[in-house]
């Protein structure tokens, strides 16, 4: 049959199906908001969808600095979702015994094809030189699976005579513990997440399995959840990938190996002690989770592993006029940073020639001697087994040099130490600088930071949040909230000793508040730089202060009201809020003149004030016009760290300041007001 007949055959098949099923035909002809019922087949289909078009603008989002033209964003975006929900068993069993849910999404920033579906990062390798990671984009309007799962009754599937229902769910679906602080559903989010509040930011849910059910009728329920977050043993390419050669003792066994799976297990109870009271609702939810991540990255891929456990409790009360709730949790566990040889193959341009060198071994200079040059790059030893050279002698001597380098004792005590001599190697290379006394020509030395011994970071974080609402009128509600998440002033990975990390760690968390919501700092909107202390170890690779986001090292309190008039012809909502933020642990002040942290002098903990408004109205029955605006006023903390650099480029900008007299505009972090605006249309069908 010709290819052109295939669409016509499909059309005839649909017509024939509708003709044999008048119930389905009736549902379509009536346009019942996409609800299609096949009662004679014991199936019920529900087709629903969403279109959202929105505009975003923000200024001073990240650095609170009006003099930085780059610190502002504007874009238009759309989201299209299609959801198919299939229910089975109502006619035969009297209840739904199986359900299948499938959701497709298309999302893109207009005029930015790279925002549609960027790929994950992949390393680029030229011979033995790993140049870094790169990614691509799919510049076509594609749909992807956001959600897809099957749920069925264990009772009916296994013919078990349980009095209460027990269900099994398998696939990609949302799952959260409590308010989503300890464990949220943000498995995969869009690249434009940071900087704006959004209610549709999760582009894909994690794959997992869930066993849930009822223990005591209407009173006690349970969930047991397991998810695979990343699987690095699915193919031989994964298990054989050579990523562990720098780990102590694994130079000859660089393959990843089997069993490298990042998985999560969690469980909870849902207790309703007042289930028989229709006027009051009480929920008590104790929960736990355990995450095993065998491949974390501190400096290099897979140079650390983590075992994290969290235990928490949520309480919610809802009455006729008053509702309130709280949640608390704490972390235990540890991160093991593996013993690692930092020496890698890097590329250099030496007088127009591409030369591959050992990044952590030098020749002809003692790197720890008082007269050693600050820039050791010209003295790095070529990896001559892969360096193009016209002489055979270089290759022979180079192999000897590489044997000395690879055979060096792996321990921090050998950092900066002499490891051997290859006579005639410098002369054979011809492009090596003259030796610097006390070192002699052809002598090889480890760089000061070549080896990193194993160390452990112990998790000791916690958080507590509480909020409540009062219904003053049927259309007017007032709310207050407060919360604290423990913090730490340092990044534990910026040193090489065992450390007790006090900051709370949440997984897949984008918490924005429950009864008093944040539109700027919390959750997915948190793009503002919250800076920790600069590394206190002289042996760190990165000398600049790190930043944090999310619900950690943060104290907040706030209030708001929610007005939803009942006598208006069109539905309308207005929800303004005000929130105050502090650091839980303070960080040092920064002196812009000396370009250093002021040791012994702490910056103010007060981060600032956020004012925001959430509002919407319905233009049609299912067409919503909404807006979210926020204004952030920096607190004393940002005055105390004005100008602090976060990388080498920002440090160079700081060097341009004239600190004697008029300084001009301050680069880097500042304390100017910031604001965001989000306006959009949403149609559900």
% of the chain surpassing 70 pLDDT: 84
- Say if CB 563 and CB 573 are below 8 A apart: yes
Whether 521 has a pLDDT exceeding 70, the answer reads yes
Instruction: State how far the Cα of 418 lies from the Cα of 435, in Å rounded to an integer.
Output: 14
CB 188 within 8 A of CB 204: yes
Are 10 and 18 within 8 A, CB to CB? no
522-563 per-position pLDDT tens digit: 875 557 878 777 665 555 556 676 777 789 999 999 999 999
| Whole-number pLDDT of residue 70 | 84
Beta strands in 272-303 (DSSP E): 281-296
Which whole number is the average pLDDT over 649-658?
Answer: 68
Is the CB of residue 628 less than 8 Å from the CB of residue 678?
yes
What is the model's pLDDT at position 649? 72
Q: What is the pLDDT of residue 287?
A: 98
> Tell me, what's the pLDDT at 201?
65
Residue 651 contacts residue 668 (beta carbons within 8 Å): no
Q: Which one is predicted more confidently, 355 or 16?
A: 355
119 DSSP assignment: P
Better-predicted residue by pLDDT, 23 or 298:
298
- Structural domains of the chain, count: 1
Check pLDDT > 50 for residue 662.
Answer: no
Residue 541: inside a domain, yes or no?
A: no
Q: What is the pLDDT of residues 416-450, one digit of tens each?
A: 999 999 998 888 887 788 999 999 999 999 999 99
Identify the three-state secondary structure at position 412: helix
Q: Is the peptide bond before 496 cis (omega within 30 degrees of 0)?
A: no
The pLDDT of residue 390 is above 60: no
For every residue of 49-105, DSSP letters joined together read EEEEEEEEEEESTTT--TT-TTSEEEEEEEEEEEEEEEEE-HHHHSS--EEEEEEEE
Question: Poorest-confidence range of 270-284, 416-430, 568-582, 654-668?
Answer: 654-668
Please state, in angstroms and rounded to a whole number, the distance separating the CA atoms of residues 669 and 62. Answer: 8
Angle at 41 between CA 40 and CA 45, to 5 degrees: 105
Q: Please provide the DSSP assignment of 576-631 as one string.
A: EEEEEEE-SS--EEEETTTTEEEEEEEPPSEEEEEEEEEEEEESSSSEEEEEEEEE
Instruction: Report if residue 464 sits inside a domain.
Output: no
Q: Is the pLDDT of residue 99 over 70?
A: yes
Tell whether 60 is covered by a domain: no
Q: Which residue has the higher pLDDT, 69 or 28?
A: 69
Q: Is 379 exposed, middle or buried (0-12, 13-18, 19+ CB in 10 A)?
A: buried
The DSSP string of 448-504 is TTSEE--EEEEE--EEEEEEEEEEEETTEEEEEEEEEE---SS-GGGSSS-EEE-S-
Cα 66 to the center of its chain, rounded Å: 27
Residue 351 belongs to some domain of the structure: yes
164-211 confidence digits (pLDDT tens): 999 999 999 999 999 999 999 887 655 443 334 455 567 889 999 999
The model's pLDDT over 334-345, given as tens digits with 9 standing for 90+, comes to 999 999 999 999
**Structural domain includes residue 428:** yes
For residue 443, tell me if it sits in a domain.
yes
Residues with Cβ within 8 Å of 439's Cβ and at least 6 positions away in sequence, in order, are 364, 365, 366, 369, 445
Would you tell me how many other CB atoms lie within 10 Å of the CB of residue 30? 9
Sign of CA dihedral 40, 43, 44, 45: negative
* Residue 636 placed within a domain: no
**Tens of pLDDT, residues 33-69:** 455 545 557 888 899 999 999 999 999 988 899 988 8
| CA separation for the pair 131, 122 (Å, rounded) | 11
Q: What is the pLDDT of residue 278?
A: 86
Most confident of the ranges 39-48, 64-73, 246-255, 483-492: 246-255
With a cut of 60, say whether residue 679 has pLDDT above it: yes
- At 681, give phi and psi (nearest 5°): -120, 140
pTM for the full predicted model: 0.86
User: Which residue range is the domain that position 355 belongs to?
Assistant: 341-452
Question: Is the confidence at residue 500, as pLDDT, over 90?
Answer: yes
Beta strand extents in 319-372 (DSSP E only): 322-337, 340-341, 345-350, 353-363
Poorest-pLDDT segment among 24-33, 90-99, 191-200, 370-379: 24-33
- Higher-pLDDT residue of 384 and 245 is 245
Q: According to the model, what pLDDT value does residue 295 have?
A: 92
pLDDT tops 70 at residue 30? no
The answer to whether residues 482 and 465 touch, using CB atoms and an 8 Å cutoff, is yes
66's tokens: 């009006």
As given in the structure block, the two tokens for residue 88 are: 């089975």
Give 222-266 as a DSSP string: EEEEEEEEEES-SSHHHHT-B--TTBTT-TT--B--S--EEEEEE
* Count of positions (residues) in the chain: 685
Residue 135 domain-assigned (yes or no): no
Q: What proportion of the chain, given as a percentage, has pLDDT over 90?
A: 58
Helix or strand run (H / E) with residue 651: helix 648-655
Is pLDDT above 60 for 24?
no
């Amino acid at each position: 049959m010709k290819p052109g007949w295939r669409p016509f055959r499909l059309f005839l098949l649909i017509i024939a199906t509708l003709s044999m099923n008048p119930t389905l035909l009736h549902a379509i002809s009536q346009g019942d908001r996409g609800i299609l019922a096949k009662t004679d087949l014991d199936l019920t289909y529900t087709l629903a969808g969403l279109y959202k078009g929105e505009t975003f603008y923000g200024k001073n989002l990240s650095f609170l600095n009006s003099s930085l033209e780059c610190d502002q964003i504007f874009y238009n975006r759309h989201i299209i979702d299609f959801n198919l929900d299939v229910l089975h068993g109502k006619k035969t069993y009297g209840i739904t015994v199986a359900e299948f849910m499938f959701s497709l999404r298309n999302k893109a920033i207009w005029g930015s094809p790279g925002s549609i579906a960027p790929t994950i990062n992949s390393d680029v390798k030229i011979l033995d030189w790993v140049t870094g990671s790169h990614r691509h984009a799919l510049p076509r309007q594609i749909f992807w699976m956001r959600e897809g799962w099957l749920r069925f009754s264990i009772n009916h599937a296994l013919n078990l005579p349980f009095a209460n229902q027990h269900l099994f769910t398998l696939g990609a679906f949302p799952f959260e513990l409590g308010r989503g602080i300890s464990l949220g559903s943000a498995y995969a989010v869009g690249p434009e997440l940071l900087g704006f509040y959004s209610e549709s930011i999760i582009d894909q849910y994690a794959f997992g399995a869930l066993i849930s059910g009822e223990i005591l009728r209407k009173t006690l329920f349970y969930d047991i959840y397991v998810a695979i977050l990343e699987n690095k043993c699915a193919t031989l390419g994964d298990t054989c990938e050579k990523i562990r050669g720098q780990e102590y003792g694994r130079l000859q066994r660089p393959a990843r190996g089997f069993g490298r799976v990042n998985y999560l297990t969690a469980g909870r109870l849902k207790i309703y002690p007042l289930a028989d009271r229709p006027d009051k609702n009480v929920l008590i939810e104790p929960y736990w989770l355990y995450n095993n991540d065998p491949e974390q990255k501190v400096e290099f891929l897979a140079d650390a592993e983590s075992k994290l456990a969290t235990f928490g409790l949520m309480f919610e009360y809802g009455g006729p006029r008053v509702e309130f709730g709280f949640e608390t949790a704490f972390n235990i566990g540890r991160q093991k940073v593996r013993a690692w040889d930092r020496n890698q193959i890097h590329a250099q341009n030496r007088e127009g020639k591409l030369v591959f060198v050992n990044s952590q071994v030098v020749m002809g200079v003692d790197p720890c001697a008082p007269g050693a040059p600050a820039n050791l790059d010209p003295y790095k030893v070529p990896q001559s087994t892969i360096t193009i050279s016209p002489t055979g002698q270089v290759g022979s001597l180079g192999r000897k040099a590489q044997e000395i380098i690879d055979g060096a004792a792996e321990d921090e005590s050998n950092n900066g130490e002499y490891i051997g001599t290859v006579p005639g190697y410098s002369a054979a290379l011809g492009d090596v600088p003259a030796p610097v006394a006390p070192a002699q020509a052809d002598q090889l030395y480890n760089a000061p930071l070549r080896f990193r011994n194993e160390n452990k970071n112990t998790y000791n974080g916690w958080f507590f949040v509480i909020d409540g609402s009062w219904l003053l009128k049927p259309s007017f509600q007032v709310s207050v909230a407060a919360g604290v998440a423990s913090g730490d002033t340092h990044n534990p990975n910026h040193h090489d000793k065992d450390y007790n990390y006090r900051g709370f760690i949440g997984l897949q968390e984008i918490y924005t508040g429950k009864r008093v919501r944040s539109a700027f700092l919390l959750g997915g909107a948190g793009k503002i730089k919250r800076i920790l202390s600069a590394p206190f170890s002289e042996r760190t690779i990165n000398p600049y202060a790190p930043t944090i986001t999310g619900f950690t090292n943060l104290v907040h309190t706030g209030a708001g009201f929610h007005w939803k008039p009942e006598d208006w012809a069109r539905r309308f909502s207005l929800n303004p809020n005000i929130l105050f933020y502090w650091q839980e642990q303070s960080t040092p002040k920064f002196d812009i003149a000396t370009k250093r942290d002021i040791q012994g002098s702490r910056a103010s903990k007060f981060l600032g004030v956020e004012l925001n408004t959430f509002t919407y109205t319905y233009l049609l029955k299912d067409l919503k016009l909404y807006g979210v605006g926020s204004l952030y006023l920096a607190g004393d903390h940002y005055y105390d760290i004005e100008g602090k650099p976060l990388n080498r480029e920002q440090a160079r900008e700081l060097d341009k300041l004239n600190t004697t007299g008029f300084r001009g505009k301050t680069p880097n972090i500042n304390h100017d007001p910031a604001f965001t605006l989000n306006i959009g249309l949403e149609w559900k069908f």
